[in-house]
Amino acid sequence: MRISIGRAITSWLLISATLIAADSKGDDDLRAGIALLEAHQYRQSLGRLKQAVTRLPESADAHNYYGFALAREGMLVESISEFRRAIQLDAKHAEAYYNLGCAFLAAGDMAAAVKPLEEAVALRSPFPEAHSALAMAVSSTGNLERAVGHLRLALQQRPDMTSAHNQLGMIFSRMGEDQQALSEFAAAVKSDPSSVESHNNLGVAFHKSGDLPRAIAEFEKAIRLDANSLEALRNLGQAMRDKGDLPQAIRCYERLSSLQPDSAQTRTDLGFTLKRADRLDEAIEQLSQATRLDPAFARAHFYLAEALSQKGDQARALVEFEQSRTLRPRDVEYAVKYGVALQQTNLPGAIAELRRAVQLDEKNPAAQQALGQALRRAGEAQEAAPAFDAARKLNATLDSRSQAVLHTNKGIEQLKAGNIATAEDAFRKALAIDPKFAAANHYLGITLSATGKWAEANRAFDAALEADNADGDIHFNYGVALVRQREWLRASAQFRETLQVRPFHPQAGCELGAVLTRLGETKEAQRVLEKAREAGSCQISATR
């Protein structure tokens, strides 16, 4: 599923100038230049602002404004020089530091942006724009925790800052904190209901959470606000395809194609959807155009090959399968499909290709099955047997896991409905099929905790963590269960593990602080609680 999220846009700061009265003509040029900037007439402002810096060479504001105009016209090197000159003239010019940082961001030099933006937030408070820009800079270097901190500060200073909510949501999404990401995108929509980007981002979050109807509603809102929003149209097309509404998905992709006639990706999306709708001639036309637009786009060649094969044109299909496999030699699916197609004309070559596919992923049942069939066709029944056996075992494992997932999902629904006994039965059925299934053990632990079966619950949580020790939710829920057993020390260990895995878990810090208080570690508890409260309100478990 390729769902695209919006991108945070760095804004430039336009401040009121502190004019220097040394030259009245320079004054007039600066005033006129600022007025043009405020009217978004950036190109027209360049001449007046250039005159201003010539007549007022010692005016930091003049250089800052001239740099701003240059940057808006894409002359980043020249703008950086002007911002630096402004800072030389006034080392406490927070806005010049901010604009210098933004210029570096626009130039793609994230590391260089950090220092001037740090200076900006140190010199001026509140300065939410600078905190937001600094978050963008440090997040690009992988320091997501620090980025979250700056965005929290930006939102403390301006709670309705839509761009900061979107930016924070995107960072949480990168961190896997999907629920917090959804909350931030919802806050962005609330702060600015007319924001196309915010509705699109919220739609992506709903789609990721499995709430397809609400995802579609948000994408449609974005499109009502901007009928030409490429991201919203693409996302709505994907959502409609996932819903099974192929006609509506096709309409979205056709609209996209009219807006992006030279986009191979858009033609491929349209062609694939037409193929799924059995409109093969149209699919072949769109996918052929995609391969002409971008001959190196492997996915377009692959879908074209499938459409041609469905149409009965095996010769052309083989050429396209081979091209997709050449472009993406490590893609097992492409190798398998090419090997299967090749059997018609070159059985030894097909066997060699399918052996290569198995080497790429020996646990791929389709590759093993196809290799077995090719070997049997070549009269190599003895060699084919191990491949068939491997395919059978792999499929059995997949089938077992699918059954375990079905039972687990049923148990979760029953647990939500308060049917504890039915939920427990479903989780035990899942574990009878797959005893090491982390999700089933996790939810069984929660279910048993609800009835006070502590020893069994703890064993279930332990089994879940043995299967997946990197799941912060398992650690957290185990910690909550241990709190209810008044196992303070063991609970603190689980909450610490939660924060190790998920530093921004919404409640783990609050729970850890409360448990540390119980253990008499008051200073550490206070530190942990203060940090937790910076990220949001604390809701401590009732049993203490």
> CA dist 200 to 29, 218, 231, Å?
42, 6, 7
Report the amino acid identity of residue 30.
Answer: L
Q: What pLDDT is stored for residue 16 in this prediction? A: 38
Tokens, residue 330: 């490590």
Q: DSSP string of 414-473?
A: HHHTT-HHHHHHHHHHHHHH-TT-HHHHHHHHHHHHHTT-HHHHHHHHHHHHHH-TT-HH
Tokens, residue 70: 């240059």
How many other CB atoms are found less than 10 A from the CB of residue 100?
A: 28
What's the CATH class of domain 1-143? mainly alpha
Q: What pLDDT is stored for residue 176 in this prediction? A: 87
> 133 with 114: CB under 8 angstroms?
no
Query: Helix, strand or coil for residue 74?
Result: coil
Cα–Cα distance, 227 to 331 (Å, whole number):
36
Task: Report the CATH fold assignment for 407-535.
Answer: 1.25.40
Which among 174, 164, 219, 194 has a CA at the least distance from the CA of 9?
164
Report the amino acid identity of residue 55.
Answer: R
List, as own/partner pairs, every contact residues 350-353 make where C-beta atoms lie below 8 angstroms and the sequence separation is at least 24, other chains included: 350/374, 351/375, 351/378, 353/325
Residues 6+ apart with CB under 8 A from 24: none
Q: Which residue has the tokens 């220097």?
A: 20
Cα–Cα distance, 392 to 497 (Å, whole number):
39
Report the amino acid identity of residue 480.
Answer: V
Residues 6+ apart with CB under 8 A from 500: none
How many other CB atoms are found less than 10 A from the CB of residue 260?
A: 15
Query: Helix, strand or coil for residue 252?
Result: helix
pTM of the model: 0.82
Which 8-state DSSP code applies to residue 13?
Answer: P
Query: Helix, strand or coil for residue 333?
Result: helix
pLDDT in tens, the chain (544 residues): 445 454 444 455 554 333 333 344 558 999 999 999 999 999 999 999 999 999 999 999 999 999 999 999 999 999 999 999 999 999 999 999 999 999 999 999 999 999 999 999 999 999 999 999 999 999 998 899 899 999 999 999 999 999 999 999 999 999 889 999 999 999 999 999 999 999 999 999 999 999 999 999 999 999 999 999 999 999 999 999 999 999 999 999 999 999 999 999 999 999 999 999 999 999 999 999 999 999 999 999 999 999 999 999 999 999 999 999 999 999 999 999 999 999 999 999 999 999 999 999 999 999 999 999 999 999 999 999 999 999 999 999 999 999 999 999 999 999 999 999 999 999 999 999 999 999 999 999 999 999 999 999 999 999 999 999 999 999 999 999 999 999 999 999 999 999 998 888 878 999 999 999 999 999 999 999 888 876 665 665 544 4
Tokens, residue 362: 């020996």
- C-alpha angle with apex 270: 265 to 275, nearest 5 degrees? 125
Phi, psi of 38 (to 5 degrees): -65, -25
Exposed / middle / buried, residue 15 (Cβ in 10 Å: 0-12, 13-18, 19+): middle
CATH 1.25.40.10 residue ranges for the chain? 1-143, 407-535
Q: What pLDDT is stored for residue 400 in this prediction? A: 93
Tokens, residue 149: 């901190």
CA torsion through residues 56, 59, 63, 69, sign? negative
Q: What pLDDT is stored for residue 84 in this prediction? A: 97
* Buried residues in 474-483 as b, exposed as e (16+ CB within 10 A): bbbbbbbbbb
Cα–Cα distance, 40 to 49 (Å, whole number):
14
> 360 with 335: CB under 8 angstroms?
yes
Exposed / middle / buried, residue 117 (Cβ in 10 Å: 0-12, 13-18, 19+): buried
Which among 164, 237, 245, 170 has a CA at the least distance from the CA of 205?
170
Cα–Cα distance, 535 to 397 (Å, whole number):
42
Q: What pLDDT is stored for residue 27 in this prediction? A: 83
How many other CB atoms are found less than 10 A from the CB of residue 473?
A: 17
Torsion angle (degrees, nearest 10) of CA 140, 142, 148, 149: -100
Q: What pLDDT is stored for residue 542 in this prediction? A: 47
Q: What pLDDT is stored for residue 535 in this prediction? A: 63
Cα–Cα distance, 277 to 274 (Å, whole number):
5
Q: DSSP string of 374-395?
A: HHHHTT-HHHHHHHHHHHHHHH
> 511 with 542: CB under 8 angstroms?
no
How many other CB atoms are found less than 10 A from the CB of residue 331?
A: 19
Cα–Cα distance, 34 to 45 (Å, whole number):
7
Residues 6+ apart with CB under 8 A from 75: none
